[in-house]
Structure 1
């Protein structure tokens, strides 16, 4: 009887020993396992990152485009409601590299600086707003491009197509009816006015492939939007 007890006790100790060794061997991850997991995570991240970045850029550009269209409509609405001429100017701030806009009564003055509001009654505050307002764009995330000649020469184009090789600026002015006002020399507008937002290329100021634009055409100031290759 004592012999059977000793044999049983020895078997229990052997089983306990095997169990302890098994637990010790599987208590953690080996270096090879950790390296393999890290490689898999890295590969998946490399695959997903471009798609996620493209999604973020498209969302950002869509919001900037909404801000662009809203600014133009605001100027036209103010002109209709108040029965006065109103203008909206666009530029890329030379210091922050962030696109900006401003809506104001009347036509632009002969000189517009970074420290004065472009209206006949200039003030000490700039009055410029970042495009999209709450979008909080950072430098070089979105640029403005146009076919307009300058901030001061309102409703005047330099070409029929948008200049996509350099940052743009310009002013669109509506008359008291909400229609596009005649140019400073009283001549009628004969080409559509185009303002575009785009993700710039990695270097330089040229526009990338992601584009959104607002086109104002006809004397009544009709607006339409286009995207990517249709922005020209």
Structure 2
């Protein structure tokens, strides 16, 4: 016969089993305390639609600001390339003790903005044109090339020498063997008592209304003095 201890253990095990089964049944059938059962967990179609609408609205708000930021970064890099080209021409002139010129143009076939650095006495057909800031796509769809030059080292003679687009391919800047601007030169006409505008090479983001006209976003390099000193400027300083 089973002893008393064995019977007690058996009764205890059976009681525990019944309690466990009742508890499982209660948990499975009890009302949800947070508004839905485990089987209903997830997002409803309406919730997903609302989230997608909110994402779309936020993207529409952020997109113009992001596009403006990208344009500013690109145009800064193009202007850096203009500055570097002018400095290279000046450096070549001083290093080789020869007159060196730099010219900019928009290629009518590829639409790329290009630069050429060459000996001032080189024939036009021997110039080597290279894309300017090719890594950011410096072409007429993204940037306009302008300037206030009417000839070699000559700013146009209108008051304050306004910038025109596109830049004339006959306009170039030439440095002599000391890195000084060659003669004749003209830094522009201004009313008495004000500073001449200098020789300007300008890149601008096209206007959204008319791609042949510049927007207010501009960058430029200005050759300010006979000694060939340069500075970078932006926006209204480039007009």
TM-score normalized with structure 2 length: 0.76
Q: Aligned ranges for residues 137-176 of structure 1 at < 5 Å?
A: 137=138, 139-149=140-150, 153-158=151-156, 159=158, 160-164=160-164, 166-169=165-168, 170-176=171-177
Superposed CA deviations along residues 203-227 of structure 1, whole A, max 9, x for unmatched, are 2311111111111133222212211
Instruction: Give the root-mean-square deviation of aligned CA atoms.
Output: 2.9
Contact 1:98 1:143 in 2 (8 A): no
* Unpaired stretches in structure 1, ≥5 consecutive residues: 108-118
Greater Rg, structure 1 or structure 2? 2
Q: List structure 1 segments (4+ residues) > 6 angstroms apart after TM superposition.
A: 5-8
Q: Closer, same or farther in 2 for the Cα pair 1:198/1:121, shift >3 Å? A: closer
Aligned equivalents of 1:188 and 1:36: distance in 2?
Answer: 65
Deviation at 1:17, TM superposition (A): 4.7
Q: Aligned ranges for residues 48-87 of structure 1 at < 5 Å?
A: 48-87=62-101
Is residue 42 of structure 2 the alignment partner of residue 36 of structure 1? no
Q: Could you say what secondary structure the match of 1:221 adopts? A: coil
Q: Could you say what secondary structure the match of 1:90 adopts? A: strand
Deviation at 1:179, TM superposition (A): 1.2
Correspondence for 1:230: 237
* Unpaired stretches in structure 2, ≥5 consecutive residues: 1-10, 189-197
Contact 1:98 1:142 in 2 (8 A): no
Aligned equivalents of 2:186 and 2:237: distance in 1?
Answer: 22
Aligned equivalents of 1:10 and 1:85: distance in 2?
Answer: 100
Q: Closer, same or farther in 2 for the Cα pair 1:194/1:47, shift >3 Å? A: same
Contact 1:145 1:162 in 2 (8 A): no
Aligned length, in residue pairs: 210
Superposed CA deviations along residues 56-93 of structure 1, whole A, max 9, x for unmatched, are 11111111111011101111111111111111001122
Correspondence for 2:39: 24
TM-score normalized with structure 1 length: 0.78
